[in-house]
Amino acid sequence: MEKLSTLAETMVGSEIVRLGNEISERKRKGEHIYNFTIGDFDPSVFPIPAALEAFIIESYQHHYTNYPPADGIFELRQAVALFIKEWEHLEYSPSEILIASGGRPLIYALFKTVIDDNDKVIYAAPSWNNNHYTNLHKGKHCIIETKAENNFMPTAEDIAANIKDAALLCLCTPQNPTGTTLSRETLSAICRLVIEENSRRGENEKKLYVMFDQMYWMLTYGSIQHYNPVSLHPEMRAYTIFVDGISKAFAATGLRVGWAFGPKAVLTKMKAFLSHIGAWAPMAEQKATAKFLVQKNLLQEYFSHFKAELELRLNKIYEGLMELKAFGHNVDAVTPQASIYLTISFNLAGKKSNGIELRTQEDVTEYLLSKAHLAIVPFYAFGAEKKSPWYRLSVGTCKLNEIPLFLHQLKDALNDLQ
């Protein structure tokens, strides 16, 4: 094998991709799989808003197919400014907003902008891809192992013990993979820590920045509310970079329109990185999104149905799992809070099937896939320890009529264990 870069040689592949490939192969062979692994939407179940689709078609008919500006078209940056003012009561100008092809390149550019070799990056485990982004940028991993009693969210105490000399704090709420949220009290306490730490640092020292990934913030249920650092503590404006977009809020993952907003000095450097990478959102989709975001009535009409359908699926699956738990099976789940994810537990290591012991959590995952035809993503794919019995279940491709069917097969599979 040819010798490649150290980074390429040491890069860890995605467990989610590996699992996805295995599921695809099983389906190709005719096996029916209840696939709850992907953080995506089945367009036949959750289509994008009709108005947004119409605006996209109109944009292509007007031949908006050329390069957009590196920071995004002005109309879209202006629409995002109006959108976050209307819905989040945050005041940012178009010059403080950066458009890209979804959240990923924005996160990549933010890491590139603030992380030097061996700079400390604080993030929770489990969490989506922070471990990989830190590795890509040769940062120093500072991992907070979260606990079920805290809904798998980091606490202020966790962060306080690690905050000294950190360059970036990664927060995601509602969080992928857990579907849980930071409370007002916890987020406020974390903000105070960041403000105090930055006040302690000298004028020429690099500040501690917060990447605030709120891609799922519009998808909260029941009494759950979303909070953000700048609304709670205006001083956080100088240190907070928001990452957001249409991917999850509008079931528009493939349209690739995301945005970041925050301190202009940071956003300007992120723009420079993206200008070399070319990770722009397509011009037609930018034009369409700019029109759509300012249509408040259309947005509200879409959300009233979209959120209700997601919440219904999450609650039905949660209730089914609680019934299995009541029957004495070693399953558990966190009450649905937000996003398209349900945090569930299968504490089955040590159980036997036909005399064969499930020795590891990988064995449990394989058993659920083979016997219950249930595909879910283990938390160890998101940086948690290998022994963790917790999983992410995504309802983005879930058909309502399949819920009782998969719960019945799961019950049979659990009953077969000794």
Residues 120, 72: one domain?
yes
CATH number at residue 178: 3.40.640.10
Quick one: pLDDT at residue 1? Answer: 58
In a domain, 58, yes or no: no
DSSP 111-174: HHHH--TT-EEEEEES-SSHHHHHHHTTPEEEEEE--GGGTT---HHHHHTT-TTEEEEEEESS
Please report, rounded to a whole number, the percentage of residues in the chain having pLDDT higher than 70. 99
Task: Examine the fold and report which residue of 295, 321, 350 is the final residue of a domain before the chain moves on.
Answer: 295
More confident residue, 23 or 175: 175
Quick one: pLDDT at residue 28? Answer: 84
d(CA 168, CA 40): 27
Mean of the per-residue pLDDT values of the chain = 95
In a domain, 291, yes or no: yes
Q: What sign results for the dihedral spanned by CA atoms 130, 131, 137, 141?
A: positive
Q: Residue 77's CB: how many other CB atoms inside 10 A?
A: 24
Taking CA atoms, 51 is separated from 245, 282, 294, 298, in Å, by: 17, 18, 12, 7
pLDDT tens across 47-71, in order?
A: 999 999 999 999 999 999 999 999 9
Please report, rounded to a whole number, the percentage of residues in the chain having pLDDT higher than 90. 89
Residues 10, 151: one domain?
no
In a domain, 56, yes or no: no
pLDDT confidence band for 22 (50 / 70 / 90): confident
Task: Examine the fold and report which residue of 238, 260, 295 is the final residue of a domain before the chain moves on.
Answer: 295
Provide the number of structural domains found in the chain: 2
pLDDT value at 168 more than 80: yes
Give the structural domain span for 356. 6-46+300-415
In a domain, 1, yes or no: no
pLDDT tens across 356-370, in order?
A: 999 999 999 999 999
Quick one: pLDDT at residue 24? Answer: 79
Residues 174, 195: one domain?
yes
Token pair in block for residue 391:
């999983």
More confident residue, 73 or 26: 73
* Strand pairing report for 240-245 and 258-261: antiparallel
pLDDT confidence band for 10 (50 / 70 / 90): confident
pLDDT confidence band for 99 (50 / 70 / 90): very high
Residues 204, 347: one domain?
no
Task: Examine the fold and report which residue of 238, 269, 295 is the final residue of a domain before the chain moves on.
Answer: 295
In a domain, 14, yes or no: yes
In a domain, 51, yes or no: no
pLDDT value at 258 more than 90: yes
Residues 291, 317: one domain?
no
Quick one: pLDDT at residue 18? Answer: 76
Alpha-carbon torsion, ordered 139, 140, 141, 144, to 10 deg: -120
In a domain, 407, yes or no: yes
More confident residue, 133 or 26: 133
Rounded to 5°, angle at Cα 76 from 70 and 77: 70
Residues 103, 169: one domain?
yes
Question: How far is Cα of residue 84 from the mean position of the Cα atoms in its chain?
Answer: 19
Residues 124, 41: one domain?
no
Least confident of 75-84, 127-136, 224-233: 127-136
Phi, psi of 169 (to 5 degrees): -115, 120
Residues 267, 343: one domain?
no
d(CA 48, CA 246): 10
pLDDT tens across 275-334, in order?
A: 999 999 999 999 999 999 999 999 999 999 999 999 999 999 999 999 999 999 999 999
Residues 235, 383: one domain?
no
Residues 352, 285: one domain?
no
Residues 199, 218: one domain?
yes
Q: Which helix (H) or strand (E) is 258 found in, with range?
A: strand 258-261
Residues 272, 354: one domain?
no
Least confident of 12-21, 89-98, 106-115, 160-169: 12-21
* Strand pairing report for 374-375 and 258-261: unpaired
